[in-house]
Amino acid sequence: MMIANITACHTLQDAVRFLGTELPEELQRPLEAYALVQKRRGSRTKTPPLQDLIASDKPITEAAIDELIDGVALGYARGQVSREVSEDAERVTLSTFRTSLMGVGGDALTESLQPAFRQACEDLEAVMRLITPT
């Protein structure tokens, strides 16, 4: 199975849930990390705009202006870094997911799906007995 993008990872996750189980932690962790990175993408630290400072009772000092500038700079820097991390997140998530799926995570996934597979086989055998009695 080729996992080409995050959507394919989520499709596999949905299919596994449909079968009554969850992805093993080795496969779940990269998806959780990716979701959190995407949730934080572009978020900034809220900084008080200049008009709020002027309208407040707080004294307008060099320190207050420095604090405003530092807050804005932190917001811009945080936004840029979060975009860079977000852009890299899909590549890293897919690489980690694929590696795990081909190794320990895939083994754990196969093991977790065995009960659903056995039940499906038993159900199919029961249907076959109804169709072709012995």
The residues of the chain scoring below 50 in pLDDT are 45
pLDDT for 31: 93
Angle at 129 between CA 124 and CA 132, to 5 degrees: 120
pLDDT for 84: 87
* 3-class secondary structure per residue, 81-117: HHHHHHHHHHHHHHHHHHHHHCCHHHHHHHHHHHHHH
What angle in degrees, to the nearest 10, is found between the helix axes of 62-101 and 6-18?
60
- Domain positions in the chain are 6-131
pLDDT for 105: 94
Cα separation of 109 and 25, whole Å?
10
- Segment 3-34, tens digit of pLDDT: 889 999 999 999 999 999 999 999 999 999 99
